Amino acid sequence: PCRSFHGNNRLLTSQIVSYYESINQCKKELPEYFNFASDVLDEWARLEKDGRKPANPAFWWVSDEGEEVKWSFEELGSLSRKAANVLSEACGLQRGDRVVAVLPRVPEWWLLNVACMRAGIVFIPGTSQLTAKDISYRLQASKAKCIITSDTLAPALESVLPGSQLLRSKLTVGRGSRDGWLNLKELL
C-alpha cells in the first residue's frame, strides 16, 4: 500500500514500472530538453506559490553540531540561479564545462550541484579524503576548468593546481578568503 510522506502519496513500484514501460513503448512523449532545476524544482516552487502544493522544505540540512539550514523550493531556486550566475560570470564557465568539487557535504555542495544542472555545467564530486595525486589526476582527466573546495581544504589543494593547464578559476566555500581564490558567499 501507499504510504503518506508530507501529505503526498508515494508511487507504488508497479506504477513506476508501468510509467517507464509506457515511455519505452513510446506511449509517453519525452521532452526534447530536460533540466531538473528548471523543469522540476522551479515547477514545484510555482505550485507552492500558487497554493496548489503544500509548502515543504526542498532542502533540510543539520550539522553534527545541530546547526540547521532549511530552504524552500523558491529559496533553493533563487540561490541556485545566483550560484549558476557566479559559475558562469565570475568563474567564466559555459555549458559543458567541468567543475571538480572537493567538499564535505555542506549545504553549498547541494546548491552548487543544482546550479551546475541549471547552467549545464558538469559537476564532478570529490570527497575531502582525496590525496593530492587523486585530485591532480581528476583535474587532468576531466579537463576541469574550475575547482571548488572549502576554505579549510584549499591549502592542501594548491600544490597540485599549477599542473592543471585548463583550470581557469578556483572557488572556495566558507567564510575565509584566500589569495587567488573567489569566495562563493561573497559573490552570492
Q: What's the average model confidence in pLDDT over 115-124? A: 97
What CATH number corresponds to the domain at position 114? 3.40.50.980
Mean confidence (pLDDT) of the chain = 86
In the chain, the number of structural domains is 1
The pLDDT value given to residue 37: 93
Q: Is 60 exposed, middle or buried (0-12, 13-18, 19+ CB in 10 A)?
A: exposed
What is the value of pTM for the model shown?
A: 0.81
**Residue 121 confidence (pLDDT) above 90:** yes
Alpha-carbon distance of 103 to 25, in angstroms, equals: 41
Residue 163 sits at the vertex; the CA angle it makes with 160 and 169, to the nearest 5 degrees, is 80
Instruction: Kindly state whether residue 136 falls inside one of the protein's structural domains.
Output: yes
Is position 9 within any domain?
A: no
Band of pLDDT at residue 17, cut at 50, 70 and 90: low
Angle at 143 between CA 137 and CA 149, to 5 degrees: 70
Residue 175 counted as domain residue: yes
In a domain? residue 176 = yes
Return the higher-pLDDT residue of 128 and 4. Answer: 128
At 33, phi and psi to the nearest 5?
A: -125, 140
* 121 burial level (CB within 10 Å; 0-12, 13-18, 19+): buried
CA distance 168 to 67: 33
Does 14 fall in a domain? no
Give domain status of residue 138, yes or no.
yes
HEC sequence for 13-76: HHHHHHHHHHHHCCCCCCCCCCCHHHHHHHHHHHHHHCCCCCCCCCEEEECCCCCEEEECHHHH
Task: Give a yes or no: residue 85 inside a domain.
Answer: yes
Asked whether residue 4 is domain-assigned, the answer is no
**What is the residue range of 166's domain?**
36-186
Flag whether pLDDT at 39 surpasses 60. yes
Question: In the prediction, which pLDDT does 23 show?
Answer: 65
Compute φ and ψ for 37, nearest 5 degrees.
-65, -50
Say which amino acid occupies 71.
W
Most confident of 43-57, 67-81, 121-135: 67-81
